[in-house]
């Protein structure tokens, strides 16, 4: 029984909504986007044929509102809904609501969602189906005594998990028997808070495993195949960062075994459509069922690249009741693909999400490079949604080629306006452990430790480049304002050369033009830089015979963001004086000059301050910036708090002027 | 347009020896410039202690990055207030030039307060006066970064006070013409200096250090016995809020300069100067840098001035006017950086046919509205019976008359000799050139020293003969040597440039750039209509 979909509502946002709309368009299906207040100008809204506003910015008012989404589908005549991932994608009630409204839900049946959404239930089902599971206890009896007894039976180390859990919450690793009781208590309380369900399971902890998952597909007739595996071992805070296909240590025999197990898992719940069976792969080659995701995965592109199939298309076909038309033998894996997730977050501060305007977002294109993104220059990363903003994928004949292409692609990716993990991704891709294909789930912790990834402070060469760039932009600005620009006279001074100073933190960089070529001196170091091209946010300098490419964003005449091949940094030229911004001087509204960590607030409400008094200290780009009072007065309200991240132009505090 | 075929063999012994001699002169000029920079730099700790920028650092922040800067009067006051060539500082405690501020071509004057606290010098105020005249003629916004101890009471000379008043009158004139005048008050500006902010259209005052008072604390105490607080008396904070002398109060030097840049940007100055772009062009076929080498540094060695023209004109191409008539006087037309301009140069003294040719050429240029460039290398008009009878006085006079009255931009370069009335006919300093620059090897004067000394010896010999007494050879030798020494000293470009008898000294290899910059400045001035008023802008 097949029914062709004419109009597809995509109940999601960001890159995945764009991704689904793209395939719908290819298949001749009209698309309906849904959007919240915050997303009124988002790319997915512009991209879709139609768009429905479904409520306020918080997800609870929009993207999680089943009633509004069903109403929008009805209003726009959508005969199917694709849930993407996250939000309502694994919500059995939503799937049921679609059924009730006579709308095709592009996903598995309610039963599969229901079982796989519960760790304990799914594990019981998998054990019954003969799928290898981590030895453990997932019984109904939740008394402490039983849990402790079962844990001891399994043997240390064990993992205590919330049955309804995900994303690492309500999860406790226990090394010693004496710690079990306390771990249960904590996990239970976390589970209750996070999921409203304090059911726990106990499992043997597999140390330093790989996270390997199998992509399965089933059509409505029960024909089920697998499309190979993905290795998603590189994770931070239990979120995937780098994903690849195939798994570097995979063998045909192991793949066949894991594939078989994954198909069994899918069949056990009468699965239809795209699903992912996640396994832990131990060092000894044993693998254990972890969970099944009953939706399209974020990292599906790596599978698409090595199999050549469009997974969204297959999903839609399955939803229409068409046969897959692919046998297991048809599935051939060719080449290697690695995906990097670009998050708006601060790798130096425990990967805390960062929000703000997107001043500039540039991505590369070319052979073996795929970019799935949900933001654009001029847009914003709002605090309401997931901080993943784009996926950059490298594909090549070999793993090394894919890795090299991904590094190149990332080195040409720039995001300005929010903190992001690009430099971290580049660093991780370049780590020998990853390069050799040896990364396990312990990789990030072992490589970066507690402190996370610390981007190195700009060195003399970066400061010289920044100054040369600001110099060239200043020259271009002057030329565009001048009546008669004279190319032959640029950079010429008839007497002693008058260099232009740039002050970054405490460092002075002086730039002199000698004709076209610039000389930037940073202390004792002198850099000769030839600006070959500076326009449209792209710059190329020649230095000692090599070309250095940069992406830049000039937020103002003094404030520049630079993305080099390996580093993203922002600098403010303070040569214009301590109160360089006349417009802001003197009104007592103290705003953050740039993104950074508010280290300290030195005043309290009610304090009397004088112009020039230090009010707060902001740390950005490893430099400490003192924030000074711009008027005499009394500190009125303080908005910032010490230790918090703060965005450029955020109000830190307000000084009330003293009345004469 | 004919392409010139150079006869200079680059790399030949002659080229190399001429080049090395010219490079020595250029090095001498650069060393003198650096001497002043170094001297001023010695005061850096004092400025830093006061939270100030040095004058040179102020200039760095004022100018747009990477844009051309034509320094003016770089040798001003050299050998004037201090006649010792080993200690005399060129510049006159002022840094003057034409540069870009927020994309606007401006006349910039920075008090070099690193040198004797910026006290007025004889050459310095002469240079400033002329710079103001250039600003008025070329319609350039006038920016002055002020910090000056004023007149040096220890070396008081009444003329300085009497003459210097023109500096303030010029500010009034500029305001009335519609040329914006802007002052940043970085430090003290007392007595007469207080009128510097007082007379300017826009005044930015820097907190803590900026000060303007008709009489400083010491003078007030001497005159009235009042013990005053200097900041209360004339501090920028007071002027910004009480007296109203200052429009903009800056936190520090750099901020003051940033405000000045914003003010200039806000004028929208270039939006009122619609201009056509100059025609595209190719650079000279002969590298302008080979001027050093192509030209003998001593004027006594003759050479073809067309070798210089070929290193200035686009594509080394120019059309000669009447090449066979009065051939020692070369008149040509071509383009420099796409802008049409005429050039006149000398391959020797100017004879009657050379003078008539030049006079006619000037009138044609005036008629065609074409700027004229004068390349001075002449020992003057021809003398002797033959030339007197041919009407040298008449033709020379009419050439001087023509050059005096042409209404097109006139740009002069002293590139070799410029003597006697030949200097006048070639648009010398007193003929109101729009711009006039010296090469460091050039020599100027009423006549050559040797010639003058011989002339005076001749006079002495005739006098002795008439009196029937023998010539006192020892006295005559002494006199001859003395005259030669006096002329020799004053002929030097370093001396005359020190006396501000030109607009500055340049590297001969930069002549094309200087010329292009000046032609463009004149072109811009012509295209610009000022919004004038009668009395200047009042500060009420």
pLDDT of residue A585: 47
Q: How many other CB atoms are there within 10 angstroms of residue A284's CB atom?
A: 7
Chain B's closest residue to A612, CA to CA, is B251
Classify residue A584: in a domain, yes or no.
no
pLDDT 10s digits, A358-404? 999 999 999 999 999 999 999 988 888 888 999 999 999 999 999 99
Is pLDDT at A530 greater than 60 in this prediction? yes
ipTM over 0.85? The verdict is: yes
Q: In the numeric block, which tokens belong to residue A68? A: 């509004």
Q: Which of B255, B504, B510 sits opposite A576 (nearest CB)?
A: B255
Classify residue B491: in a domain, yes or no.
yes
Kindly report which listed range (A138-142, A317-321, A416-420, B481-485) carries the lowest average pLDDT score: A138-142
* Same domain flag for A357 and A389: yes
B504 to chain A: which residues are within 8 Å by CB?
494-495
d(CA A567, CA A443): 22
Q: In the numeric block, which tokens belong to residue A492? A: 């010429």
Give the DSSP H or E segment for B2.
Answer: strand B2-3
Residue B520 near chain A (CB below 8 Å): yes
**Confidence band, pLDDT 50/70/90 cuts, at residue A583:** very low
Contact A198, A170 (CB under 8 A): no
Looking at residues A627-633, what average pLDDT do you find? 82
* Same domain flag for A23 and A140: no
Higher pLDDT, A191 or B48: B48
* Same domain flag for B177 and B68: yes
Q: Is the dihedral of CA B460, B465, B468, B471 positive or negative?
A: positive
Contact A478 B255 (CB under 8 A): no
* Same domain flag for B510 and B461: no
* Same domain flag for A295 and A221: yes
pLDDT of residue A169: 65
For residue B179, what is the domain's CATH number? 3.90.226.10
Touching A: B residues 489-518, CB under 8 Å: 504, 506-507, 510, 513-514, 516-517
Selected residue of B67, B266, B522 to mutate for chain A interface (largest A Cβ count, 10 A):
B67
Q: How close A458 comes to chain B (CA, Å)?
A: 23
Answer with the one of B495, B516, B535 that is the final residue of a domain: B495
Q: How close A456 comes to chain B (CA, Å)?
A: 29
% of chain A with per-residue pLDDT over 90: 62
pLDDT of residue A168: 62
Residue A79 phi/psi, 5-degree rounding, is: -100, 0
Contact B65 A513 (CB under 8 A): yes
Contact A482 B257 (CB under 8 A): no
* Same domain flag for B327 and B373: yes
Residue B100 near chain A (CB below 8 Å): yes
Residue B271 near chain A (CB below 8 Å): no
Burial (CB count <10 Å: 0-12, 13-18, 19+), residue B10: middle
Domain encompassing residue B405? 288-439+506-526
3-class DSSP string for B202-269? EEEEECCCCEEECCCHHHHHHHHCCCCCHHHHHEHHHHHHHHCCCCEEECCHHHHHHHHHHHHHHCCH
List, in order, residues 6 or more apart from A292 with CB less than 8 Å away. A116, A122, A265, A266, A269, A275, A276, A277, A278
Contact B121, B498 (CB under 8 A): no
Q: Which of A482, A493, A612 sits opposite B103 (nearest CB)?
A: A482
For residue A98, what is the domain's CATH number? 3.40.50.20
* Same domain flag for A216 and A331: yes
For residue A422, what is the domain's CATH number? 3.30.470.20
* Same domain flag for A552 and A653: no
Residue A511 near chain B (CB below 8 Å): yes
Answer with the one of A204, A233, A261 that is the final residue of a domain: A204
* Same domain flag for A501 and A397: no
Contact B524 A501 (CB under 8 A): no
A491 to chain B: which residues are within 8 Å by CB?
66, 68
For residue A607, what is the domain's CATH number? 2.40.50.100
Please report how many Cα atoms fall inside a 13 Å half-sphere around the Cα of residue A283, on the Cβ side.
9
Residue A583 near chain B (CB below 8 Å): no
Answer with the one of B222, B239, B272 that is the final residue of a domain: B272
Looking at residues B475-494, what average pLDDT do you find? 92
Question: How many domains would you assign to chain A?
Answer: 5
d(CA A389, CA A117): 26
pLDDT 10s digits, B377-433? 999 999 999 999 999 999 999 999 999 999 999 999 999 999 999 999 999 999 999
Residue B523 phi/psi, 5-degree rounding, is: -60, -45
pLDDT of residue B300: 87
Looking at residues A166-174, what average pLDDT do you find? 73
* Same domain flag for B158 and B252: yes
Q: In the numeric block, which tokens belong to residue A430? A: 């370049």
Residue A501 near chain B (CB below 8 Å): yes
Selected residue of A468, A473, A483, A499 to mutate for chain B interface (largest B Cβ count, 10 A):
A483
Touching A: B residues 64-93, CB under 8 Å: 64-71, 74
Higher pLDDT, B343 or A576: B343
Residue A479 near chain B (CB below 8 Å): yes
**Confidence band, pLDDT 50/70/90 cuts, at residue A164:** confident
* Same domain flag for A266 and A361: yes
* Same domain flag for B222 and B340: no
Residue B282 phi/psi, 5-degree rounding, is: -110, 145
Classify residue B1: in a domain, yes or no.
no
Residue A610 near chain B (CB below 8 Å): no
Answer with the one of A395, A425, A448 that is the final residue of a domain: A448
Chain A's closest residue to B515, CA to CA, is A489
Classify residue B6: in a domain, yes or no.
no
**Which residues make beta-bridge pairs with A289?**
A133, A279
* Same domain flag for A464 and A527: yes
Residue A579 near chain B (CB below 8 Å): yes
Question: How many domains would you assign to chain B?
Answer: 3
pLDDT 10s digits, A125-135? 999 999 999 88
Q: How close A587 comes to chain B (CA, Å)?
A: 14
* Same domain flag for B329 and B195: no
Classify residue A622: in a domain, yes or no.
yes
* Same domain flag for B42 and B113: yes
Domain encompassing residue A626? 589-657
Residue A480 near chain B (CB below 8 Å): yes
The residue length of chain A stands at 660
Classify residue A52: in a domain, yes or no.
yes
Residue B230 near chain A (CB below 8 Å): no
Classify residue B93: in a domain, yes or no.
yes
* Same domain flag for B161 and B306: no
B507 to chain A: which residues are within 8 Å by CB?
494
* Same domain flag for B75 and B176: yes
Q: How close A482 comes to chain B (CA, Å)?
A: 5
Contact B337 A486 (CB under 8 A): yes
Classify residue B355: in a domain, yes or no.
yes
A501 to chain B: which residues are within 8 Å by CB?
57, 60-61
Q: Is the dihedral of CA A260, A266, A272, A277 positive or negative?
A: negative
Q: Average per-residue pLDDT in chain A? A: 90
Classify residue A111: in a domain, yes or no.
no
Residue A306's nearest CA partner among A276, A327, A336, A329 is A336
Chain A's closest residue to B282, CA to CA, is A488
Classify residue B310: in a domain, yes or no.
yes
List, in order, residues 6 or more apart from A547 with CB less than 8 Å away. A532, A540, A541
Contact A576 B63 (CB under 8 A): no
Contact A484 B275 (CB under 8 A): yes
d(CA B132, CA B140): 9
% of chain B with per-residue pLDDT over 70: 99
Classify residue A42: in a domain, yes or no.
yes
Higher pLDDT, B522 or A597: B522
Contact B65 A474 (CB under 8 A): yes
Contact A494 B257 (CB under 8 A): no
Residue A475 near chain B (CB below 8 Å): yes
* Same domain flag for A200 and A252: no
* Same domain flag for A404 and A505: no
* Same domain flag for A289 and A180: no
Chain A's closest residue to B70, CA to CA, is A494
Burial (CB count <10 Å: 0-12, 13-18, 19+), residue B172: middle
* Same domain flag for B133 and B208: yes
Contact A501, A468 (CB under 8 A): no
Answer with the one of A155, A172, A204 that is the final residue of a domain: A204
Classify residue A114: in a domain, yes or no.
no
**Confidence band, pLDDT 50/70/90 cuts, at residue A584:** very low
d(CA B372, CA A636): 67
Is pLDDT at B120 greater than 90 in this prediction? no
Active centre residues of A (catalytic): 295
- Please enumerate, as own/partner, the contacts of A247-253 that have beta carbons within 8 Å and a separation of 24 or more: A247/A210, A247/A212, A247/A281, A248/A399, A248/A437, A248/A438, A249/A210, A249/A281, A249/A437, A250/A212
pLDDT 10s digits, A235-250? 987 789 999 999 999 9
Classify residue B5: in a domain, yes or no.
no
Classify residue B259: in a domain, yes or no.
yes
Q: How many other CB atoms are there within 10 angstroms of residue A397's CB atom?
A: 11
Is pLDDT at A427 greater than 70 in this prediction? yes
B61 to chain A: which residues are within 8 Å by CB?
500-501, 575-576
List, in order, residues 6 or more apart from A539 with CB less than 8 Å away. A469, A472, A531, A533, A549, A550, A551, A552
Classify residue A299: in a domain, yes or no.
yes
Residue A478 near chain B (CB below 8 Å): yes
Contact A343, A420 (CB under 8 A): yes
* Same domain flag for B253 and B334: no
Residue B82 phi/psi, 5-degree rounding, is: -130, 115
* Same domain flag for A328 and A240: yes
* Same domain flag for B382 and B459: no
Chain B's closest residue to A492, CA to CA, is B68
Higher pLDDT, A440 or A594: A440
């Amino acid at each position: 029984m097949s029914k062709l979909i004419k109009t597809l509502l995509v109940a999601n946002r960001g890159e995945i909504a764009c991704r689904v709309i793209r395939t719908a368009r290819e298949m001749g299906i009209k698309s309906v986007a849904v959007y919240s207040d915050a997303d009124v100008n988002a790319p997915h809204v512009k991209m879709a044929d139609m768009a429905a506003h479904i409520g306020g910015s918080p997800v609870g008012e929009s993207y999680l509102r089943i009633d509004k989404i069903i109403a929008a589908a009805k209003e726009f005549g959508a005969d199917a809904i694709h849930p993407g991932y996250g939000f309502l994608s694994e919500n059995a009630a939503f799937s049921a609501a679609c059924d009730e409204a006579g709308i095709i839900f592009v996903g598995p049946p309610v039963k599969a969602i229901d079982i796989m959404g519960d760790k304990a239930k799914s594990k019981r089902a998998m054990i019954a189906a003969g799928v290898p599971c981590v030895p453990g206890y997932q019984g109904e009896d939740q008394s402490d005594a039983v849990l402790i007894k079962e844990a001891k039976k399994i043997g240390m180390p064990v993992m205590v998990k919330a049955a309804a859990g995900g994303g690492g919450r309500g999860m406790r690793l226990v090394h010693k028997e004496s710690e079990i009781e306390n771990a249960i208590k904590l996990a239970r309380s976390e589970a209750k808070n996070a999921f409203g369900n304090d059911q726990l399971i106990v499992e043997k902890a597999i140390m330093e495993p790989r996270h390997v998952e199998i992509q399965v597909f089933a059509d409505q007739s029960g024909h089920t195949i697998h499309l190979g595996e993905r290795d998603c071992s590189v994770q931070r805070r239990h979120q995937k960062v780098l994903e690849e296909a195939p798994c570097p240590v995979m063998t045909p025999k192991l793949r066949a075994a894991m594939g078989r197990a994954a198909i069994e898992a899918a069949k056990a719940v009468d699965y239809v459509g795209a699903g992912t069976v996640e396994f832990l792969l131990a060092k000894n080659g044993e693998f254990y069922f972890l969970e099944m995701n009953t939706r399209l995965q974020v990292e599906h592109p790596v599978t698409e690249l090595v199999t050549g199939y469009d997974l969204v298309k297959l999903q839609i076909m399955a939803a229409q009741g068409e046969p897959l038309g692919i046998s297991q033998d048809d599935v051939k894996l060719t080449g290697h693909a690695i995906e990097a997730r670009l998050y708006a977050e601060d790798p130096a501060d425990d990967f805390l999400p960062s929000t703000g305007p997107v001043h500039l977002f540039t991505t590369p294109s070319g052979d073996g490079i795929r970019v799935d993104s949900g933001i654009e220059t001029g847009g914003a990363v709002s605090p309401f949604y997931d901080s993943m903003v784009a996926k950059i994928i490298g594909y090549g004949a070999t793993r090394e080629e894919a890795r090299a292409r991904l590094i190149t692609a990332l080195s040409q990716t720039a995001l300005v306006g929010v903190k992001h993990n690009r430099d971290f991704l580049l660093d991780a891709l370049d780590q020998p452990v990853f390069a050799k294909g040896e990364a396990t789930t312990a990789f990030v912790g072992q490589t970066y430790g507690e402190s996370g990834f610390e981007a190195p402070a700009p060195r003399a060469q970066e400061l010289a480049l920044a100054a040369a760039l600001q110099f060239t932009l200043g020259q271009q600005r002057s030329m565009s304002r001048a009546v008669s620009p004279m190319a032959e006279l640029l950079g010429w001074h008839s007497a002693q050369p008058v260099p232009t100073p740039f002050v970054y933190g405490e460092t002075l960089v002086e730039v002199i033009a000698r004709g076209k070529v610039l000389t930037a001196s940073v202390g004792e170091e002198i850099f000769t830089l030839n600006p070959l091209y500076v326009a449209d946010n792209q710059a190329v300098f020649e230095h000692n015979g090599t070309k250095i490419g940069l992406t830049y964003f000039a937020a103002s005449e003094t404030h520049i963001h630079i993305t080099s091949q390996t580093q993203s940094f922002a600098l403010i030229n303070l040569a214009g004086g301590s109160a360089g911004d006349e417009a802001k001087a003197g009104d007592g509204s103290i705003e953050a000059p740039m993104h950074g960590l508010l280290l300290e607030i030195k005043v309290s409400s009610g304090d009397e301050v004088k112009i020039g008094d230090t009010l707060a200290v902001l740390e950005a780009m490893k430099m400490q910036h003192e924030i000074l009072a711009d008027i005499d007065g009394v500190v009125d309200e303080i908005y910032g708090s010490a230790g918090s991240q703060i965005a450029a132009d955020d109000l830190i505090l307000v000084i009330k002027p003293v009345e004469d | 347009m004919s392409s010139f075929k150079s006869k200079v063999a680059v790399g030949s012994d002659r080229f190399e020896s001429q080049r090395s001699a010219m490079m020595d002169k250029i090095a001498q000029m650069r060393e003198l410039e650096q001497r002043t920079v170094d001297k001023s730099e010695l005061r850096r700790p004092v400025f830093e202690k006061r939270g100030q920028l040095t004058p040179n650092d102020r200039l760095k922040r004022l100018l747009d990055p990477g844009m051309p800067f034509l320094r003016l009067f770089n040798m001003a006051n050299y050998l004037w207030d201090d006649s010792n060539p080993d200690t005399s500082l060129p510049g006159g405690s002022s840094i003057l030039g034409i540069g870009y501020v927020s994309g606007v071509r401006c006349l910039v004057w920075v008090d070099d307060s690193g040198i004797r606290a910026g006290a007025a010098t004889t050459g310095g105020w002469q240079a400033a006066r002329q710079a103001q005249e250039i600003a008025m003629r070329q319609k350039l916004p006038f920016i002055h970064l002020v910090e000056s101890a004023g007149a040096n009471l220890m070396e008081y000379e009444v003329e300085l006070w009497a003459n210097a008043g023109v500096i303030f009158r010029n500010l009034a004139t500029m305001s009335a013409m519609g040329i914006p005048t802007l002052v940043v008050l970085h430090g003290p500006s007392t007595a007469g200096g207080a009128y510097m902010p007082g007379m300017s259209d826009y005044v930015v005052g820097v907190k803590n250090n900026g000060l303007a008072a008709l009489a400083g604390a010491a003078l007030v105490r001497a005159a009235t016995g009042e013990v005053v607080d200097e900041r209360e008396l004339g501090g920028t904070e007071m002027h910004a809020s009480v007296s109203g002398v200052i429009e903009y109060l800056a936190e520090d030097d750099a901020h003051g300069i940033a405000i000045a840049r914003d003010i200039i940007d806000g004028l929208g100055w270039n939006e009122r100067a619609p201009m056509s772009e100059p025609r595209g062009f190719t650079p000279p076929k002969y590298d302008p840098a080979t001027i050093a080498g192509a030209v003998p540094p001593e004027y006594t060695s003759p050479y073809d001035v067309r070798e210089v023209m070929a290193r200035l004109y686009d594509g080394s191409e120019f059309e000669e006017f009447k090449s066979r008539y009065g051939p020692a006087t070369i008149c040509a037309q071509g383009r420099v950086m796409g802008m049409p301009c005429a050039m006149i140069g000398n391959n020797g003294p100017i004879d009657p046919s050379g003078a008539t040719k030049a006079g006619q050429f000037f009138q044609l240029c005036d008629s065609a509205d074409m700027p004229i460039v004068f390349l001075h290398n002449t020992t003057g008009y021809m003398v002797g019976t033959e030339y007197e009878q041919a009407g040298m006085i008449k033709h020379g006079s009419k050439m001087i008359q023509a050059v005096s009255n042409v209404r097109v931009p006139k740009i002069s370069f002293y590139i070799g000799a410029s003597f006697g009335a030949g200097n006048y006919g070639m648009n010398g300093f007193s003929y109101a050139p729009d711009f006039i620059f010296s090469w460091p090897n050039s020599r100027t004067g009423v006549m050559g020293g040797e010639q003058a000394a011989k002339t005076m010896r001749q006079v002495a010999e005739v006098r002795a003969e008439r009196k029937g007494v023998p010539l006192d050879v020892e006295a005559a030798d002494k006199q001859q040597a003395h005259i030669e020494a006096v002329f020799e000293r004053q002929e030097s470009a370093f001396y005359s440039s020190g006396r501000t008898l030109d607009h500055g000294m340049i590297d001969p290899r930069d002549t094309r750039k200087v010329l292009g910059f000046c032609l463009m400045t004149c072109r811009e001035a012509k295209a610009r209509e000022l919004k004038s008023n009668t009395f200047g802008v009042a500060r009420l």
